[in-house]
Amino acid sequence: MAKVSKSPTPGVPVLGPIFGLLLGPRVRPLLGIAIVVVGGAYWAWSNVRDQVLAEAQYQIGLEQVVVTARPEWIKADVRVEALRNASLDLPLNVLDDQLAERVAKAFEFHPWVAEVRQVKKSLPAQVAVDVVYRKPVCMVELPDRSGLYAVDAAAFLLPSQDFLSEPKKAAAYPRLAGITSMNVGRVGVRWPDPLVQTGVLVAAALEEVWPKLNLARITPAEVEVGQSVPQFELTTRGGTQILWGSAPTTELAGESRAADKIAALLGYARDHGSLEGRNGPQRIDVRTREITVLAAKPKNATAAKKPPEKRK
C-alpha cells in the first residue's frame, strides 16, 4: 500500500472538566466572543475560499506531477495515462486533503506499475509519486494470433503495443510458445493459465543467458503419469532440444535447481562451442546433476540403440 503523507491529527482530551470551566459565569462572555470570532472567520473563508484555491501557487499541472523515471522498455507516458484513466482532470490542487490518496489509486491501476511506494505533496505546489515499474521478462506467442504478448515475472500481462514499433527488441526477450489457452485476460491482470504462470519463471531464470545460449523458445513438455507439476523444454535457434523440467521453485525430488541447469548448459556450450551436436541439432537433458546428451530417436525399429552420453 502506498505511503501517503498526512498532517498529524491532534488527540481528543477528556472534555468534561473543560466544558465545566467554559460554562462558568466568568467565562461565558469570553466564550460568546470566541464563537463570534470563529463564526466570522468561517464566513470570511467561505467567501474567499474559491479565490484562494485558484491561486497559481496551489495549482498542480502536469509538470508538477513528478514520477519515478520510467525505464527504457516503457514508451508510454505513464503519468499522463494514469491521471487520464482515473479521470483526474488537471489542474489539481495541493490543498485538497484527498489528493495524495486519489493520485496513489490512479497509479496503482496503471498496468506498468507494480507498486506505489509513496505519494507526497508539497509547496510550492507539487506531488511526487514513487513507484516500482513492472519489467517484461518474456513474450508469449499464441497460435492463430498475430503479435506477441509481454508479461513480467509474475505473469502480469503488460501493454504489448509498446513493443510493436520495435520488433527486434521484442524478439530479444525469451519466447514462451505452445500456449493453447485463449483466455488471455486483460492488460494489468495476471494471466490465468498455469502454464504461463510457471513458464515465465523459466524465462526469468534464463533472461541473462538467453542470447549466450542461442535459445529460441520455451515450450510446455509432456507430463509423465502421476506428475502434476508443469514441465518445459527449450529449443535453440539451431534446433537442439533441451529437456529443462520443472520451473524454478517447483522442482521435483532429485531434480537439479535452475542455477545448476544453467551452469551445466553454459559449461557444455563453452566446452563444445555451442549446444548443437557435431552433425546438427541434438537432445540434451539437464534435469539431473549430470548433463546428458540423449541418443537421436531411431528411424526404424531395427536401428541400434546408442546409450546416452553423460557429461559433467
Which DSSP helix (H) or strand (E) runs through 194?
helix 194-206
Which DSSP helix (H) or strand (E) runs through 39?
helix 28-53
Long-range contacts of the stretch 289-298 (C-beta < 8 A, 24+): 289/256, 289/260, 290/264, 291/264, 291/265, 291/267, 294/243
d(CA 150, CA 129): 25
- The grid coordinates of residue 238 equal 539451431
pLDDT tens for the chain, 312 residues long, are 777 764 443 444 444 555 455 556 665 566 566 665 555 555 544 554 554 555 668 899 999 999 999 999 998 999 999 999 999 998 999 999 999 999 999 999 999 999 999 999 999 899 999 999 999 999 999 887 667 899 999 999 999 887 877 788 888 999 999 998 878 888 999 999 999 999 999 999 999 999 999 999 999 998 877 778 999 999 999 999 999 999 999 999 999 999 999 999 999 999 999 999 988 999 999 999 888 998 665 555 444 444 445 554
Q: 294-307: per-residue pLDDT in tens? A: 866 555 544 444 44
Instruction: Answer positive or negative: Cα dihedral of 211, 215, 217, 223.
Output: negative
Contact 117, 107 (CB under 8 A): no
Which DSSP helix (H) or strand (E) runs through 38?
helix 28-53
d(CA 173, CA 122): 40
Q: Domain residue spans in the chain?
A: 57-133, 136-311
Q: Quick one: pLDDT at residue 22?
A: 52
Q: What is the DSSP string of 261-279?
A: HHHHHHHHHHHHSSSSBTT
Q: Quick one: pLDDT at residue 16?
A: 52
Q: 44-63: per-residue pLDDT in tens? A: 445 545 545 556 688 999 99
Number of helices (H) and strands (E) in the chain: give both, helices first: 7, 15
57-133 has which CATH code? Answer: 3.10.20.310
Instruction: Answer positive or negative: Cα dihedral of 27, 33, 37, 42.
Output: positive
